[in-house]
A = this chain, B = another copy of it.
Amino acid sequence: MASKTFYAIIAGAGSGTGMYSLPKYLVPSRASALRFAKAYPVVLLARRPESYNEIVSEINGSGGQAIGITADATDSATLDLAFQTISQRLPGSKLAAAIYNVNGGFTRKPFLDLKLEELDASLNAAPRGLFAFAQKTLPLLLDSVPDSPHPPTLIITGATASVKGSAYFGGFAAGKFALRALAQSLAREFHPQGVHVAHAIIDGGIDTPWGKNLIMNNGVEDGKIKPEQIAEDYWHLHTQHRSGFTHEIDTRPFVEKF
């Protein structure tokens, strides 16, 4: 049975629809919610209720506890409200794990066609969003260090573009590189204080319902990453002993070129 004393929060529960969507970059929030809900109540943050309603129902209907909150994880003010709601809905519960899955700013176009707003969308979803989310969650994670069942953990989802600035992907890569810079810096500052900060380079398409029509790796079976595998990776990171923190993992389908 899951502890009621600690909870997990996942930002970026959206399905990835909208101007920036590409199924390849859909975030693994749904599977992470299911995985962490085996151990903790789970809070999902998304900009629109339709992004989390289904998974919240599924978890609550199967013996777990989930709460969906409409909030823009990149906006400090709505985050404040979200954490007030959490205090009311989960009184006395402390934060064990925070997952930053927010995506945005994905564009693929010649640089001279790129708009500043597209670069800004990438920067907003990546370093600026993580900044807001981490400013809220790190004090709570620090507070959980003495008694959390596992070292309190902040997990950040990156992409191929976190480590390679490909042609036509400059805007997206700018955000993802910056996100990784922040993740590294937070790890170096907060690891010695007992909070685990991990960054995952998702190097491949994710196999989601929304992306089922997207052919990747020539349609070979298992050519897209099962979100359940990413969720297991995140759970593994969360449960690492503080004597052996992993800061960065890469993950890709067996057939993915790299």
Q: Tell me the A residues contacting B by CB distance below 8 Å.
A: 76, 110-112, 114, 116, 119-120, 123, 127-128, 131-132, 134-135, 138-139, 151, 161, 164-171, 173-186, 188-192, 194, 196, 204, 207, 222-226, 228-230, 232-233, 236, 239-258
Q: Complex: how many Å from CA A123 to CA B249?
A: 26
Chain B residues contacting A123 (CB-CB under 8 Å) are: 123, 127-128, 178
Q: Is the CB of B181 within 8 A of A177?
A: yes
Q: Is the CB of B185 within 8 A of A169?
A: yes
Q: Is the CB of B249 within 8 A of A248?
A: yes
Q: Is the CB of A180 within 8 A of B182?
A: no
Q: So how many copies of this chain end up in the complex?
A: 4
**From residue A160, how far is it (CB to closest CB) to chain B in Å?**
12
Instruction: Indicate the member of A111, A116, A168, A171 with the most B CB atoms within 10 Å.
Output: A111
Chain B residues contacting A229 (CB-CB under 8 Å) are: 240-241, 243-244
Instruction: Indicate the member of A112, A123, A139 with the most B CB atoms within 10 Å.
Output: A123
Chain B residues contacting A110 (CB-CB under 8 Å) are: 189
Q: Is the CB of B185 within 8 A of A111?
A: yes
